[in-house]
Amino acid sequence: MKITDARIFPYPAGDSTVARMAIEAGELGFDSLVAIGDVGHQSFQGVEILQGTIITAQSIREVLRDLRDPAVRRADVVYVDAGDLPFNRALASINEVNVISKIHTTRQNAFDHVAARTAAERGVAVEISLAPLINLRGVKRQRALNRYADILALHRRYGFMLTISSAARSILDQRSVREIRGLCELFGMTGAEVNEALSSVGRIIEPFSPVGVVR
């Protein structure tokens, strides 16, 4: 199974080209990236580029509308930004939604046992973005750590998938597999759990593939 940085933002959303970020990712221990934008499906120096898209909506009706958009349907991985508890419960039940993102911005209990059980049944993952751990300080960073600890506890109990992303907007934001393990230890994630999460994009796009091992 390929080891994937589950979300990056190459130029023009970020400062570095997708080719440069792919080369950097290969040097940092990754086999593939999910790049947000109209990047197509390509590879650079052996690093596969998957196309991702993000839906930011205020209602489930808007989400369902956007899922019919041809640009969204072309994406390999579809992310939807999290909201309140009813919204997140509904997201977890939509098969076309691959990853619930920005969970760290939600209130405590906005993703509960019902959403967790549904996500596990439907194969919907929850994103662990490293951006708040890298870029935030003080109370805001601690709040993100607490949210991730809550999500990790639910993951251990109900078994829904986690993804891990750098959310990098330049090569300076990208992190190695070793650095990611260290950051995830801050909220209690084990090395084995990090390995599993780094390989989960492959299971999202090929649900019946076996779990791999991080090199």
Per-residue pLDDT of the chain (215 residues; tens, 9 = 90+): 799 999 999 999 999 999 999 999 999 999 999 999 998 888 999 999 999 999 999 999 999 999 999 999 999 999 999 999 999 999 999 999 999 999 999 999 999 999 999 999 999 999 999 999 999 999 999 999 999 999 999 999 999 999 999 999 999 999 999 999 999 999 999 999 999 999 999 999 886 444 433 43
Domain 4-205, CATH number (from 3.30.9.10, 3.30.450.20, 3.40.50.1370, 3.20.20.140): 3.20.20.140
Backbone angles phi, psi at 84, to 5 degrees: -85, 180
The token pair that represents 9 in the structure block: 């933002």
The token pair that represents 150 in the structure block: 């809550």
* List of E strands, the chain: 4-8, 32-36, 42-44, 47-55, 77-81, 99-101, 125-129, 162-165
Give the per-residue pLDDT at 168: 97
* List of E strands, 132-204: 162-165
Give the per-residue pLDDT at 112: 97
Give the per-residue pLDDT at 32: 96
Q: Where are the alpha helices (DSSP H) in 48-137?
A: 60-67, 70-73, 85-91, 113-122, 131-135
Give the per-residue pLDDT at 207: 65
- Give 206's DSSP letter: S
Of 51, 11, 43, which Cα lies nearest the Cα of 26? 43
Q: Give the CA count within 13 Å in the CB-facing half-sphere of 133.
A: 23
Distance, in Å, from the CA atom of 195 to the CA atom of 181, rounded to the nearest integer, reads 9
Give the per-residue pLDDT at 210: 40
Give the per-residue pLDDT at 40: 82
pTM of the predicted protein model: 0.92
Contact 126/98 with Cβ under 8 angstroms?
A: no
